[in-house]
Structure 1
Amino acid sequence: MAPPSLAGRSLLEFLLTLLIGLAPVACGLLVLSLQVEREQEETSELSAVEAIYVIDRVIDTLHDAAGAVLSLAGQRCESALPTLRQQAFKQPNVRSLVLVRENRGYCSTLLGDFDAAVDPGTFFNQRLRLDLRNEITPDVPVLHYRIQEYPFGVIAISDARILQTELQGFKNAIVLVLQFGNDYIWATGNGSASQVPDHKENLQRTVSEKYGYTVHAGYPDGHTWQMITQAMASTAPSLLLVGIITSAVAYWGLFRQRRRPSSPTE
C-alpha cells in the first residue's frame, strides 16, 4: 500500500495533468463559440445588405414604370389608357398603373376610368405603401409606389409576393422582415409588429438609402446555441485528442523525468 504522502502526490500530479490537458480543450471550445457567434453576426449583417439590394431593384422597376407614364397624368383616361396598359405590360413586376390628378386616382389599367381619393399621408416616406388588405385581392398584399408632381402623379402597384419571393432566396435559417411604416412583410407572411416571426438573435437593422424602408435580419431564439453545439460535436474528438496528447507530454515532462533515478557516482 502506498504511503499517504505518495498517494497524495500522485493524486495532485493526476489533477494537474488533467487541468493541463483540459486547457486546450476549453480554449478551443471558447474560440469555436466566439467564431460561430461572429459568423452569425456577419451573415445577418450581410443578408440585410443583400436584401436591400434585391428589394431596391424591385422598387426600381416600379419607379421606372411610373416615371415613364408621368407625362400622361392629366390627360383624359380614354386617350391615356392604351399607352398606360402597354407600359404596365412591359414590366412583369407591375400589376397596374394608376394616373392621379389632385390626389384623386382617375385612370387605372385594371379599372379603366374610375374615381378614388389618394391620401398622401398613407404613403410611407411619401412614396411607398404596403397594402395588406386591398379590395381587389384581399388575400394578397400589394405594394404601391407613388410619383408625384402635383397636381399630377402616378401610382405603380405590384403584387407584394414578389418581395416574398426575393426573401425566400436567402438561406441559413436567416429571418428577413421588410418594414414599410407600421406594416411588415416577410418570406411567409405579412402583418403588424406583433405578428413578425422571432428574429431577435444577432438582429441587424438596415435602412434603404433610396427608398427609406427598413430590413430587419436575425435568427430565431436558440439558433446560435444550436449552431454552437453542432460545431462542438464535430470538433470535440479532435480537441479531446489534443487534450490527451497535451496531458501525456505534460506528465512526462513534469513528473516522469523528475522520478527517473539518478546515475550512481564513482
Structure 2
Amino acid sequence: MSKIIYAGRFMMELLLAMAIGFIPVGVGLMAILHHQEKILAENSFYSVQDAIISVDRSLERLQAAANSALMLGGKPCEEVRQKLHDQVDITPDLRSLALMENNKTYCNTLGTSTHHDKFFAEAQAPLQLMFDTPASPGRVILSYQVRRDTFSAIATTFATQLRNELHGFQNGLTVMLEFGDSYVWALGDSRDPGRPSLVEHVEIGVSERYGYTVKAGYLRGHGAHEARQAIMQTLPSLVLVGIVTGSIFYWAVFGLRGIRQVNAANKA
C-alpha cells in the first residue's frame, strides 16, 4: 500500500513541477504573439505615412510641371509647343503636357489626341487615373490638372512610377493608392476583377496636399503565418527554460524535503 501511495505522491509532484515549468513557456508564447501583432500593426501604420511622403514628393514634380505649363495658357500652340516639349524632356518621369481652353485640348506634346477633353471636363479632382488611353493602350496614366479662368494645363506620368514606390514595401505588406474610385497597387489596378483583400492590421491615410488615399494591410492569414514562424524559432528555447524551471522547482520543494526526511529518520 505504501508503494501505491508513494507512486501517487510522486506523480502529483511531477505534474505540479511540469505545470510550474509550463508557466515560462506560456508567458513566452503570449509575449511572442503580442510582439508579432505589434510589429505588424506598426509596420502598417508607418508604411502609410512613408507612402504619403514618397508619393507626395513624386506628385510635386507633376504639379510643378502643370503649373509651369499653365503660364503658357492662352498663347498659340505654335508658339509654345516647343517649350512644352522641352519641359517634358527635362522633367523626370513626365510623360506629356497639354493645354486646354474651355475644356478642349488645343496643344498637346503627344500630338492632336483629345482623349483628355471629356475625361477632364467631367473630373472633379485634379488627380485622375486614366486607363487604356488611345495614346497609351494597356497602360495606366496618372494626370494632374490645374486651372486658371477658362484655361487649364494637364501633366501626365505613367503609373509605373507609383508602382515603383509601392514595390518598396515588403514583408507581406500590401499598399494601395486610391484616386477617387480608381486605385493602383504594386501588382494591379482598377481593371482587376477585385481589390486586394486587406483584412489584417489595415491602416488608412489621406494626403493632405493631394487628397488621394493610402491603404496598407495584410492578406488574410498573414498574421497567423508570421506567428507560427516566430514560435517555431523560439519554442525550443522556451521549452528548455520550462524544463530548467520545473526541475529547479521540483528539487527545491520536493527533493530537499526528501533529504530532510531522510536526515530526520537517521537521527531518530
Compared CA separation, residues 213 and 113, structure 1 to 2 (3 A): closer
CA shift, 1:146, in A, is 0.7
Moved more, 81-90 or 27-36: 81-90
Aligned residues: 265
Report the equivalent of 1:123: 123
Question: Which residue does the alignment assign to 2:147?
Answer: 148
Which residue identity does 2:35 align to in structure 1? Q
User: Which secondary structure state, in structure 2, belongs to the residue aligned with residue 87 of structure 1?
Assistant: helix
Change (3 A) 1:253 1:212: same
Which residue is 1:226 aligned to?
A: 225
Say yes or no: does 1:185 pair with 2:190.
no
Equivalence map 1:62-77=2 (5 Å)? 62-77=62-77
Q: Which residue of 2 aligns with 1:100?
A: 100
Q: Describe the superposition over 1:87-138 as per-residue Cα deviations: whole angstroms up to 9, x where unpaired.
A: 11111221100111122221101115869635556435x2111012322212
Partner SS for 2:217: strand
From the superposition, tell whether residues 122 and 250 of structure 1 become closer, same or farther in structure 2 (CA, over 3 Å).
farther
Q: Residue 69 of structure 1 aligns to a residue in which SS?
A: helix
Alpha-carbon offset, residue 75 of structure 1 = 1.1
Offset at residue 153 of structure 1 (A): 1.3
Distance 1:186 1:115 in 2: 24
Which letter maps to 1:191?
S
Distance in 1 (CA, whole Å) between partners of 2:27 and 2:236 is 14
TM-aligned CA deviation for residue 210 of structure 1: 0.8
Deviation at 1:199, TM superposition (A): 2.3
Question: Cα distance, 1:4 vs. partner?
Answer: 3.0
Preserved CA contact (<8 Å) 1:198 1:220? yes
Q: Structure 1, residues 165-188: CA drift from partner, whole Å, max 9, x if none?
A: 111122212111110111110111
More relative contact order, 1 or 2 (CA 8 Å, 6+ apart): 2
Once residues 46 and 177 of structure 1 are traced to their aligned partners in structure 2, the CA distance between those partners, rounded to angstroms, is 14
Q: Can you list the C-alpha shifts for 1:51-99, whole angstroms capped at 9, x where unaligned?
A: 1111111111100111112111111111111111111111122110011
Percent identity of paired positions between Structure 1 and Structure 2: 35
Question: Is the contact made by 2:203 and 2:215 (CA closer than 8 Å) also made in structure 1?
Answer: yes
- In the superposition, the TM-score normalised over structure 1's length comes to 0.93
Secondary structure of 1:93's counterpart equals coil
The letter for the 1-side match of 2:142 is: L
Q: Structure 2-normalised TM-score?
A: 0.92
Q: Which stretch shifts more, 57-66 or 7-16? A: 7-16
| 8 Å Cα contact 1:77/1:112 also seen in 2 | no
SS state of the match for residue 92, structure 1? coil
Distance 1:177 1:115, change over 3 A: closer
CA shift, 1:8, in A, is: 2.0
- Cα separation, 1, equivalents of 2:116 and 2:52: 32
1:36 aligned partner, one-letter code: Q
Question: Which residue is 1:262 aligned to?
Answer: 263
> Does the Cα contact within 8 Å between 1:204 and 1:216 map onto a contact in 2?
yes
Residue 166 (str. 1) matches residue 165 (str. 2): yes
Residues 44 and 203 in structure 1, CA contact (< 8 A), matched pair in contact too = yes
What is the CA distance between 1:223 and its match in structure 2?
1.1
Tell me which amino acid in the other structure corresponds to 1:85. H
Residue of structure 1 equivalent to 2:8: 8
Amino acid in the other structure paired with 1:258: R
What residue number does 2:214 align with?
A: 215
SS in 1 for 2:184: strand
Asked whether the 8 Å contact 1:183–1:193 carries over to 2, the reply is no
Contact 1:165 1:187 in 2 (8 A): yes
Residues 128, 143 of structure 2: 8 Å contact kept: yes
Q: C-alpha separation between the residues in 2 aligned to 1:153 and 1:192?
A: 28
Amino acid at match of 1:188: L
- Point out where structure 2 has 5 or more consecutive residues left out of the alignment: none
Q: Distance in 2 between matches of 1:177 and 1:60?
A: 19
Aligned-partner SS, 1:117? helix
Deviation at 1:215, TM superposition (A): 0.8
Distance 1:70 1:18, change over 3 A: same
Q: What is the RMSD of the two structures over their aligned residues, measured on CA atoms? A: 2.0
